[in-house]
Amino acid sequence: MIPRPYHLFLGDVADEPHAKTAFGIRDWLPDEAVGQARLPGCGVDLGLDELTPAEAVARGARSMLIGVAPVGGQLPPAWVPSLLAALEAGLDLVSGLHTRLADIPELAAAAARLDRRLHDVRRPDREFPVASGRKRSGKRLLTVGTDCALGKKYAALAIARALRAAGIAADFRATGQTGIMIAGQGVAIDAVVADFIAGAAETLSPDAADDHWDVIEGQGALFHPAYAGVTLGLLHGSQPDALVLCHDPLRTTVSAYPDYPLPSLATAMERYVEAARLTNPAARFVGVSFNTSRMQPQAAADLMAQVEAEHGLPCFDPLRSDLGALVERVRAL
């Protein structure tokens, strides 16, 4: 587990699209974000108190989390003094950047001297077994998508929260960097060696009580020319009893692959169920999650009503809708 609460470091990034991780932490872990730290030129504001590392420690912070992605994915040298100051103040560091904190000599030396830990969540810090294919106890829900980056993490977080609110034991299981920072643990599934994708997914959601739900963050899409292998391995290792399809109604082609059209919702569901049934013959869809952030409310409501009628599945936007119908569908399984 990564020690929390977090102090959120925003560096000098110019705009919100580069600070998705920080906003994810603020939105999903409001009680675990004690403050923000910014460098001159930073154009992002989370609305949290501006704190020095020492002030953050005084408010309970245990780690400083790099909540932004600099252009190019490398750690700018200008950020290093702030990171050193956080270590000196008694904070661990948490990063999802390509550059490993442990590969920056000053940080590695300071962490060793101060007995602090550097959490590089982009790379798994352990090895995984080859998948066994053995059915595990407990229940699992996996969010899957018609494409990458359209709300699978937010859907899983919202579902786990809604299940717990309804008295159903549930854990969010993170498979990407921001998810791991929110959960405090997890596996960056796309960074696992190919042979062990399904094995890592099996490890991520171990045997559990029969009425416990693991709600697993999906990755990629079966229809993505680069990432479908990750998606399929995660699907097989997760052995989901329940699937939720995530879709962005305004997207018609795979993001950044304009020659690749998105499948229809019906085709997507058919292919996911077909693949999922290899390791769990009971796999079925229980809902459809829409990212309606760029739609008019009425258009979004009309679309969801239409898909509900057509497929007989509860439809929702994880950030806007009540998830009651989905929760009842899950409870009935």
Interface residues with a second copy (CB under 8 A) are 130-133, 189-195, 197-199, 223, 225-234, 236, 254, 257, 259-260, 271, 274-275, 278-279
Q: Which is nearer to a second copy, 51 or 234 (CB)?
A: 234
Q: Which is nearer to a second copy, 192 or 269 (CB)?
A: 192
Closest approach, Cβ 316 to a second copy, in A, equals 28
Closest approach, Cβ 260 to a second copy, in A, equals 6
For the record, the structure tokens of 185 come out as 């643990």
Q: Which 3 state secondary structure label does DSSP give 39?
A: coil
Distance CA 207, CA 23 (A): 32
Q: Which is nearer to a second copy, 180 or 323 (CB)?
A: 180
For the record, the structure tokens of 73 come out as 């994915």
Residues 6+ apart with CB under 8 A from 288: 244, 245, 246, 247, 265, 304, 307, 311, 313, 314, 315, 316
- Specify the length of the chain in residues: 333
Closest approach, Cβ 98 to a second copy, in A, equals 11
β-strand pairing of 33-38 with 6-11: parallel
Distance CA 320, CA 294 (A): 12
Residues 6+ apart with CB under 8 A from 58: none
Closest approach, Cβ 21 to a second copy, in A, equals 18
Q: Which is nearer to a second copy, 122 or 164 (CB)?
A: 122
Closest approach, Cβ 188 to a second copy, in A, equals 9
Q: Which is nearer to a second copy, 80 or 228 (CB)?
A: 228
